Amino acid sequence: MFDDLDVVITEVALRDGSHAVRHSFTEEQVRNVVGALDAAKVPYIEVSHGDGLGGSTLQYGMSKVDEFKLIQAAVETASYSKIAVLLLPGIGTVHELKRARELGASLVRVATHVTEADVSRQHIEEARKMGLTTFGFLMMAHMAPLDKLIEQAKLMESYGAEAVYMTDSAGTMLPDQVFERIAALKSELSIEVGFHAHNNLGLAMGNTLAAIKAGATRIDGSIRALGAGAGNTQTEVLVAALDKMGIKTGIDLYKIMDAAEDVVAPLLLTPQEITKDSLTMGYAGVYSSFRLHAQRAGEKYGIDPRDILIELGREKVVGGQEDMIIDVAKRMKQERG
């Protein structure tokens, strides 16, 4: 359906942006956002808890509205756009994936830590059997050397992934690093390569353009930069930049601008900007969804959240280990007397 596009964009505000609004999206909000994105001809719109299917838990944050109701609202609203979901093995299961498929989801990205692609096999294989477009999603990509990244991407390809994304979950990578890694993946894989950026160092746009220059054809954007940490590559800005470069996305520039300004901006609890905490995450190489968790732990134990984030980076804590944030803050409090 999108074969004539140079770059296929997946809009992640209704998934990654769930972190930024404390998983409080309502069905009405999803319908409004999807309606505006659909009118702008956005190819894919990802809808689920910030931590993927099954993520609504005390550990990751409870959703205000059951995510399957949100997925159903999105599917019912979209006429052009396809609805995508994210699944992290160990959080979501094949059962949740099957339910999302029954509701009309068309695409799943199966996400693992960059060194743990082997846990994605069952979910990728089952997703293909369900007829879902199925991609792999290697998170915290900066934490693995290039040869390991390639090895793990090839595993996902061997399981049936139709594309593999390199994910800068911490917003810590630099453009030359992104270019080198995407170019290597492009040369080593026979499937499409994608890229997902975070803006904690203010480099999401630069990194995304570097990825596209290196051969990435599947790109994530977040309208109004609504995403974890300092947000993701801002969709409407990316569309404008790519249009100036003569790269076809199929997205209507004026309509995506209007959607950002009139529909999404009012949903933001705070402006998506590079705060001291999100900057610290990019500097320390910490998972972007840790910001609110670190702020709450800091308030509870009287510790600067930046100190907590730096320590989490030092200990190489990754997504799925949110329970350790409290443990680290508590230990730091005890050590400081």
Half-sphere exposure of 185 (CA within 13 A, CB side): 39
- Residue 287 counted as an annotated binding residue: yes
Please enumerate in sequence order all residues whose Cβ is within 8 A of that of 187, keeping only pairs 6 or more positions apart, or say none: none
Instruction: Give the ranges where the chain is alpha helix by DSSP (H).
Output: 17-20, 27-39, 67-77, 94-103, 121-129, 146-159, 175-188, 204-214, 235-244, 253-258, 276-284, 290-301, 305-314, 323-335
Distance CA 193, CA 191 (A): 7
User: How far, CA to CA in Å, does 184 sit from each of 149, 168, 211, 247?
Assistant: 9, 16, 11, 22
DSSP one-letter code for 49:
-
Retrieve residue 106's tokens: 């068309």
- DSSP conformation class of 264: I
Of 136, 105, 138, the C-alpha closest to 121 is 136
Strand partners, 196: 167
Task: Give the Cα-Cα-Cα angle 15, 18, 20 (nearest 5 degrees).
Answer: 130
Three-state SS at 70? helix
Is 49 annotated to bind a ligand? Reply is no
Tell me: is residue 3 an annotated ligand-binding position: no
Strands 8-11 and 44-46: parallel
169 is in an annotated binding site: yes
Angle between helices 121-129 and 94-103 (to 10 degrees): 30
Which residue among the candidates 19, 23, 123, 142 is catalytic per the annotation?
19
Q: How far apart are CA 232 and CA 197, in angstroms?
A: 6
Annotated active-site residue 19? The verdict is yes
- Residue 28, burial from CB neighbour count under 10 angstroms (0-12, 13-18, 19+): exposed
Token digits of residue 116 = 């743990």
Task: Report the amino acid identity of residue 122.
Answer: Q
Residues annotated as catalytic (active site), given as ranges: 19
Give the residue ranges of the annotated binding site: 15-16, 169, 196, 198, 287
Give the residue ranges of the annotated binding site for substrate: 15-16, 169, 196, 287
